[in-house]
């Protein structure tokens, strides 16, 4: 290796090592003294080491192009002497050997930059984004959980507890090792989960206690005969549902007590004796009447409805079956067959029906919000999704709004659905109330004869068609929507070839693809641009090189990277603007070709300038020798 | 003498080139970012003024150090050029042609436009969006209210905002953090530089409109201060270090100017409320003092010529 290569390589490696030390030191101080030094990003405690590693690598890699130019400046402006330039043979073209060395160095460094820009930087960017996204997602979920918990102190909506359970379970999945760091966190997931489970268990316990036949408001074994008679009369006269049974029970208990007293030789008053017989007769006659009329009718109705629900289930009319069994279960919770089929119908509905209450709970989870996109250009359709959740169990949408309009801008069809599920077949809006047979289907604002909401049948929707609101078939996938999400990272962190595909997608969705295309073109031409800049910086550094004692200028070392970084940042920004302007005016390929041509021209100028500088130095050196 | 004239020519030429470069960047930025009006300056010509003056001056000073000609003339020519460009640029900028028409349509047919309140506007493809009112614009509110097709959407070019009819009425500004703005946004160091340049411009512009004499004096002391950069070229150092030092000192001088023209009057206002004369003229005297100090140092160390790297 020539002196040119040696001195540049040493300076380059030293610069990278110094930069790595500075970055590690800065991040280390941020970890050790968080009150004095802030970290560039906030990570979850369990991601701290990964975050530090990727952040260090990302920062060092980001600084490498600038450090390369610093190394050029320091090596060729400060360290390398003219007599160390490769002179070649005396018969050859003067300075050609030096020019070859410098050009090779520029090509090698530009190659490294190309590797970094095209592959390493986007990969590291994606890694750091993923780690920081986990932190953002966890904090959002925690905030949603704490808001619900705070609200739960004043309201007692059982859905809130379910929502909290759902959120804490998601948090547990997202951060399985959180309990190791729970002492310094806003909440301990395991502890909160146990509290919620205990809360639900207690609720279930009290619910079972309150079932018919379980509650004992009055203990007839401990009451006196007088109490029993009074209670029996009150029940009989109160006329509440099933009161005659209670009246009969109390009167019969009093009667047995009196008989027992007589058996033990005690005296019973005539008045009580007459009263108890009267109460038994009166209550019995009412019981007899009910048993023969109402109860029989109810029992018949129950069995008839049960038969119908079983039929609905067998014929796969699961919605009707579910609500039928739900009603029967409320009437007789001890009917095991009803309970079994009620649960089976619910399971059968899971794939086709969404329950509003469950969706309310689910959508407490943070997701992508306010996604607006163009579904098709002919006819023109704009869709807005209030919130989109991409979960392991499926993709769900909230506040899904559809607007179709004519070329003249006349609204043709406009509707809005509260919830929906996005599957391969499209988005379905089968939403029902869980506790009562009431649909929560899309609300139609505008409908015209040629553009009816029910596009599948072509007929206006009737009330009895409500069981099947039409499915919406989008012209895109859920993944396509990620490009318009506010959570989407900037073009700088996207994979190079993904910029092209995402650029096409985003343009089809009604957004500008210029930033993505500009980034693509900028990345493609950046190695050539770096090559040209390398040559020009070399010429500049060589022209303004130090000729006096070099030891006096050591303090340049820390200043230079900052200056170079500013210059490079400005050049990158200007390059982006130029690439963006070209992409805006010309097609992508033409824009890239124009930029390539300009940079090739700059590289040629750079080579000429470098040759000129080297030639002067070589000639002088040869003359002196 | 010949070199003195060449130095002035270098200054003038570089001023024009840098101004065109900055205006070009503004043009591209405005083209690519919806509602983009540059970073701070509404007019690209204003944004270009100080960077062009300073870059041209530093380059001309560098040449003057190595090819001074008759240095007194060189100094006078450069001072005159800087002073006159500074003095006459302010009224000239008001009459300068606009890079982008203020009522140029921000809505691009077939493309969504994000608003500050998270709402979105959409002009269907093929729609004509020129002029102050656009018909048939779909408004998608950010608050989950239903979408509406608006008959006419007004555009307020002065404040760069939309006026929507009906229930959604009220001005809607553009989003400040759109994807284009995030990607093509100004680098951090340029933002801080533009802040200082902006406050300096504001003070000079205010004086130009209301107090001609003060404006004249301010231009004169600013010229004197920047001509003082000659001193730093006399620093016997590695040429590369000299360049970096001069650039650093230019930034320091800009900070000093911003402090003197904006913060110093506020300090005066706090200590002597109502002393408007002092508020106006104390900064001028303060800058003049710094400028004169640099001027005398320049006279003491005036360049004798010679190429930077004679080996």
Q: Which chain A residues are Cβ-neighbours of B239 within 8 angstroms?
A: 543-546
Q: How far apart are the C-alpha atoms of A578 and B23, rounded to whole Å? A: 13
Q: Is the pLDDT of residue A331 over 80?
A: yes
* Cβ-contact B110, B130 below 8 angstroms: no
Share of chain A above pLDDT 90, in %: 18
Q: Which chain B residues are Cβ-neighbours of A546 within 8 angstroms?
A: 238-240
Q: Which chain B residues are Cβ-neighbours of A576 within 8 angstroms?
A: 183-184
Give the gap in angstroms from C-alpha A510 to the nearest C-alpha of chain B: 5
Choose the closest CB to A510 out of B122, B146, B188: B122
Note down pLDDT in tens along chain B; length 311 residues. Answer: 788 899 999 999 999 999 999 888 888 887 787 766 665 676 788 888 899 999 999 999 988 888 888 888 899 999 999 999 988 888 888 777 766 665 566 677 778 888 878 888 888 766 666 566 777 788 888 887 888 888 778 777 666 678 887 666 667 776 666 677 788 888 887 888 888 888 899 899 889 888 889 999 999 999 999 999 988 888 777 777 788 888 888 989 999 999 999 999 999 888 888 788 888 899 999 999 999 999 999 888 877 665 554 44
Residue A56 lies in a domain: no
Which residues face A387 on adjacent strands? A369, A398
Choose the closest CB to B149 out of A370, A377, A405: A405
Residue A251 lies in a domain: yes
Q: Which chain A residues are Cβ-neighbours of B251 within 8 angstroms?
A: none
- Compare A89 and A29 and report the one with higher pLDDT: A29
**What separation in angstroms does the CA of A601 have from each of A111, A594, B79?**
19, 11, 37
Residue A256 lies in a domain: yes
Q: Is the pLDDT of residue A155 over 60?
A: no
Q: Does A377 touch chain B (CB under 8 A)?
A: yes
Please report the pLDDT score of residue B129 as a whole number.
61
Q: Which chain A residues are Cβ-neighbours of B108 within 8 angstroms?
A: 512
Give the gap in angstroms from C-alpha A116 to the nearest C-alpha of chain B: 20
Q: How many residues does chain B have?
A: 311
Q: Identify the CA nearest to A95 among candidates A546, A543, A613, A606.
A: A613
3-state secondary structure of A6: helix
User: Which of A448, A482, A516 marks a domain boundary?
Assistant: A482
Overall number of domains in chain A:
2
Interchain contact, B127 vs A409, CB within 8 Å: yes
Q: Which chain A residues are Cβ-neighbours of B142 within 8 angstroms?
A: 370
Choose the closest CB to A581 out of B31, B111, B187: B31
Q: How many residues does chain A have?
A: 625
For residue A202, what are the contacts with CB-CB under 8 A and spacing of at least 6?
none
Q: Does A580 touch chain B (CB under 8 A)?
A: yes
For residue B149, what are the contacts with CB-CB under 8 A and spacing of at least 6?
A403, A405, A409, A410, A411, B136, B137, B138, B139
Please report the pLDDT score of residue A210 as a whole number.
63
Instruction: Note the pTM of the prediction, 2 decimals.
Output: 0.74
Domain interval for residue A280: 225-292
Q: How far apart are the C-alpha atoms of A209 and B219, rounded to whole Å? A: 90
Highest-confidence segment of A216-230, A486-500, B191-205: B191-205
Please report the pLDDT score of residue A294 as a whole number.
66
Q: Please give the ipTM for the structure prediction.
A: 0.81
The dihedrals phi and psi of B268, each to the nearest 5 degrees, come to -60, -45
| DSSP 8-state assignment for residue B109 | T
**One domain, residues A281 and A387:** no
* Cβ-contact A528, A596 below 8 angstroms: yes
Please report the pLDDT score of residue A466 as a whole number.
44
pLDDT in tens, A547-561: 765 556 666 677 788
pLDDT in tens, A70-91: 899 888 887 888 777 776 666 6
Please report the pLDDT score of residue A543 as a whole number.
85
Q: Does B152 touch chain A (CB under 8 A)?
A: no
Interchain contact, A543 vs B237, CB within 8 Å: no
Q: Does B102 touch chain A (CB under 8 A)?
A: no
Interchain contact, A566 vs B179, CB within 8 Å: no
Residue with tokens 């990272």, as numbered in its chain: A489
Interchain contact, B244 vs A563, CB within 8 Å: yes
From A111-125, A204-218, A362-376, B42-56, the region with the lowest mean pLDDT: A204-218
Alpha helices in A239-293 (DSSP H): 243-263, 270-292
Q: How far apart are the C-alpha atoms of A138 and A124, rounded to whole Å? A: 21
Q: Which residues 347-376 in chain A show a CB within 8 A of chain B? A: 370, 372-374
Residue with tokens 């409109």, as numbered in its chain: B209
- Compare A441 and B295 and report the one with higher pLDDT: B295
């Amino acid at each position: 290796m020539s002196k040119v290569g040696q001195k540049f390589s040493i300076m380059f490696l030293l610069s990278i090592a110094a930069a790595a030390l500075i970055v590690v030191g800065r991040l280390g101080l941020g970890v050790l003294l968080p009150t004095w030094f802030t970290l560039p990003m906030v990570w979850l405690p369990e991601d701290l080491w990964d975050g530090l590693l990727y952040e260090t690598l990302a920062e060092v890699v980001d600084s490498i192009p600038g450090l390369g130019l610093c190394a050029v400046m320091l090596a060729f402006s400060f360290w390398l002497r003219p007599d160390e330039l490769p002179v070649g043979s005396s018969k050859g073209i003067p300075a050609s050997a030096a020019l070859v060395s410098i050009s090779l160095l520029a090509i090698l460094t530009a190659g490294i930059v190309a590797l970094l820009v095209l592959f390493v930087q986007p990969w590291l960017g994606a890694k750091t984004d993923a780690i920081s996204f986990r932190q953002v997602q966890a904090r959002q979920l925690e905030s949603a959980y704490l808001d619900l918990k705070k609200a739960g102190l004043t309201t007692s909506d059982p859905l809130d507890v379910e929502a909290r359970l759902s959120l804490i379970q998601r948090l547990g999945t997202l951060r399985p090792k959180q309990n190791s760091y729970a002492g310094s966190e806003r909440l301990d997931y395991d502890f909160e989960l146990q509290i919620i489970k205990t809360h639900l268990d207690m609720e279930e316990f009290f619910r079972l206690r309150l079932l018919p036949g379980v509650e004992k408001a009055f203990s007839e074994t401990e009451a006196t005969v007088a109490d029993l008679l009074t209670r029996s009369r009150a029940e009989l006269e109160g006329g509440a549902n099933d009161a005659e049974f209670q009246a009969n029970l109390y009167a019969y208990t009093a009667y047995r007590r009196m008989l027992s007293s007589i058996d033990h030789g005690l005296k019973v008053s005539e008045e009580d004796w007459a009263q108890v017989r009267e109460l038994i007769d009166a209550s019995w006659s009412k019981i007899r009447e009910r048993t023969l009329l109402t109860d029989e009718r109810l029992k018949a109705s129950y069995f008839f409805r049960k038969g119908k629900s079983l039929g609905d289930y067998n014929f796969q009319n699961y919605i009707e079956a579910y609500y039928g069994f739900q009603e029967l279960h409320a009437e007789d919770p001890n009917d095991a067959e009803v309970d079994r089929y009620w649960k089976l119908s619910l399971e059968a509905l899971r794939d086709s029906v969404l329950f509003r209450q469950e969706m309310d709970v689910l959508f407490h989870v943070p997701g992508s919000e306010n996604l607006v996109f163009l579904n098709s250009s002919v006819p023109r359709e704009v869709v807005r999704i209030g919130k989109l959740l991409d979960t392991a169990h499926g993709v769900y949408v909230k506040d899904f709004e559809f607007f179709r309009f004519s070329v003249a801008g006349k609204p043709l069809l406009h509707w809005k659905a509260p919830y929906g599920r996005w599957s391969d077949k499209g988005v379905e809006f089968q939403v029902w109330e869980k506790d009562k047979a009431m649909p929560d289907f899309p609300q139609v604002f505008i409908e015209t004869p040629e553009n009816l909401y029910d596009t599948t049948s072509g007929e206006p929707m009737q009330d009895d068609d409500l069981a099947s609101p039409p499915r919406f078939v989008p012209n895109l996938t859920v993944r396509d929507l990620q490009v318009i999400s506010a959570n989407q990272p900037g073009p700088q962190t996207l994979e190079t070839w993904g910029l092209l595909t995402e650029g096409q997608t985003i343009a089809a969705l009604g957004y500008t693809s210029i930033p993505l295309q500009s980034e693509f073109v900028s990345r493609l031409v950046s190695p050539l641009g770096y090559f040209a800049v390398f040559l020009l910086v070399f010429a500049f550094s060589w022209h303004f090189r130090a000729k006096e004692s070099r030891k006096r200028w050591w303090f340049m070392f820390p200043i230079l990277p900052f200056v170079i970084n500013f210059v490079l940042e400005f050049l990158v920004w200007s390059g982006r603007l130029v690439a963006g302007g070209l992409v805006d005016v010309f097609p992508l390929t033409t824009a890239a070709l124009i930029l390539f041509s300009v940079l090739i021209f700059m590289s040629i100028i750079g080579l000429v300038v470098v040759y000129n500088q080297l030639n002067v130095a070589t000639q002088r050196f040869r003359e002196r020798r | 003498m010949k070199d003195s004239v060449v130095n002035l020519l270098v200054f003038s030429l570089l001023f024009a080139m840098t101004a065109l470069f900055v205006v070009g960047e503004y043009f591209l930025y405005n083209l690519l970012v919806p509602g983009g009006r540059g970073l701070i300056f509404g007019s690209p010509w204003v944004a270009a003024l100080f960077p062009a003056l300073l870059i041209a001056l530093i380059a001309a000073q560098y040449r003057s150090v190595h090819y001074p000609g008759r240095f007194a003339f060189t100094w006078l020519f450069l001072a005159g050029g800087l002073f006159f460009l500074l003095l006459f640029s302010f009224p000239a900028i008001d009459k300068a042609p606009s890079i982008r028409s203020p009522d140029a349509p921000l809505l691009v047919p077939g493309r969504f436009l994000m608003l500050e309140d998270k709402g979105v506007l959409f002009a269907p493809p093929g729609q004509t969006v020129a002029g102050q009112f656009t018909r048939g614009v779909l408004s998608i509110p950010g608050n989950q209210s239903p979408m509406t097709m608006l008959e006419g959407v007004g555009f307020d070019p002065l404040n760069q905002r939309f006026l929507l009819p009906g229930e959604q009425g009220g001005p809607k500004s553009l989003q400040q953090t759109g994807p284009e703005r995030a990607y093509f946004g100004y680098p951090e160091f340029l933002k801080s530089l533009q802040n200082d340049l902006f406050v300096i411009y504001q003070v000079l512009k205010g004086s130009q409109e209301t107090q001609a004499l003060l404006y004249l004096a301010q231009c004169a002391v600013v010229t004197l201060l920047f001509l003082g950069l000659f001193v730093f070229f006399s620093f016997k150092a590695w040429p590369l270090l000299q360049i970096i030092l001069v650039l650093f000192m230019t930034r320091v001088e800009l900070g000093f100017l911003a402090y003197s023209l904006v913060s110093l009057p506020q300090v005066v206002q706090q200590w002597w409320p109502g002393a408007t004369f002092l508020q106006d003229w104390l900064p001028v005297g303060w800058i003049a003092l710094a400028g004169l100090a640099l001027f005398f140092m320049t006279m003491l160390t005036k360049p004798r010529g010679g190429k930077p790297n004679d080996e």
